Amino acid sequence: MSDWNNDQGGSADPNTFEQENWTSGGQAANASTNNAGFGNNGFDDANDFVGEQPAGDDKCFGCGETGLIHPGHMRKNCEKPRKINRDHIADVSADDAWNKIKQAVIDRDVDDAKEAVQEYIKAVDGDITYRQLQEALIHQSIGLWLIPTERTLVQVFTNMDLQGHIDKKYTISYRFVEQADRPRELEGWPKSRDELLSRLDDAGEVVDRGVPLCLNCKELGHISKFCSQEKTERTDAVKISCFNCGADGHRVRDCPEPRVDKNACKNCGKSGHRAADCEEPPNPANVECRKCNEMGHFAKDCPQGGGSRACRNCGQEGHISKDCDQPRDMSTVTCRNCEKQGHFSRECPEPKDFALATQRKFS
């Protein structure tokens, strides 16, 4: 498969081929072009490019014409067709490549079909257009369709035809049926075969432009380091928060505040033990009230109230039910098995409710 085809990959659906990575935003798509490297997009000499200046050669990396440094042009300003390097594609005869296309259609293998098409294009020295290729497929009743649809691409990508012309309007996808098989594709699908062939005159496959995108001004041709415009604040930048002090703008390693032990004792503030094992007397200053969520007092001493401290047996204040000297008032007792008043669960006449016991255990 030609890597000026941008390594499109396969699809879970054998009858379709999605290019979601070309139409979605994000900085990942610009990783190669914004780091002073173009990668291998099938163009000759797509290397040794630093910032805006070529190094070690005297030709445009787009069209390959020599002697264009002074005077001349950069790749970002090149209006000539790209010089496509197909050395990475297997050398096979045109007949073998054509037979491979037929077999790929029988197997409904999109990857093999695309690879066979590129081998055929190389075998005929690129002397064929997408329209001529589709007409030949139709003439021989081969069920491979080059469907041109209009899509919005990320700035660093463009559509390029087989002759190296970029900025084509339509993006080609490989299908095994002529009609759209998904309702959401109907709107942009060619309405007729004539329209399909007409669109192929202005269609291509997605490739990397080989031109960096400035993250400051969002324009092609330079990186933010060399941008002449005033630096703008990035609203899409990830905010950094310190887990030590909770402030934004720095990491824990750069925090000027003393390190806070999140696992320290809640009572004395020292490390090495829990509040339940603390030998110091309870310190209300380090206590958070479970009622009002304020520091400095226990829930039982909460000034906002929240319930009487009276004995649940006799109703008098000053002691709790386990210290009550009055006879047990069974009317205040609720069974934990049947949830009726007047007896304890150990004296309950009802069968044991294991479901209720389990629910109470994990609630």
Query: Could you tell me if residue 171 is inside a domain?
Result: yes
In this prediction, residue 122 has a pLDDT band, given cuts at 50, 70 and 90, of: very high
Give the model confidence (pLDDT) of 53-69 as tens digits: 444 455 666 666 665 44
Cα–Cα distance for residue pair 171/59, rounded to 1 Å: 29
Query: Could you tell me if residue 30 is inside a domain?
Result: yes
pLDDT at residue 332, as a whole number: 78
The domain boundary residue, chosen from 208, 227, 247:
208
- Residue ranges making up the domain that contains 337: 321-362
pLDDT at residue 79, as a whole number: 78
The domain boundary residue, chosen from 174, 208, 242:
208
Total of domains in the chain = 2
The domain boundary residue, chosen from 156, 179, 208:
208
Domain co-membership, 75 together with 202: yes
Query: Could you tell me if residue 278 is inside a domain?
Result: no
Domain co-membership, 46 together with 192: yes
Query: Could you tell me if residue 93 is inside a domain?
Result: yes
Query: Could you tell me if residue 58 is inside a domain?
Result: yes
Query: Could you tell me if residue 254 is inside a domain?
Result: no
Query: Could you tell me if residue 183 is inside a domain?
Result: yes
Query: Could you tell me if residue 335 is inside a domain?
Result: yes
Give the model confidence (pLDDT) of 283-338 as tens digits: 777 777 777 778 777 777 777 665 556 677 777 777 777 788 888 878 878 888 88
Q: HSE of 148 in the Cβ direction (CA atoms, 13 Å)?
A: 23
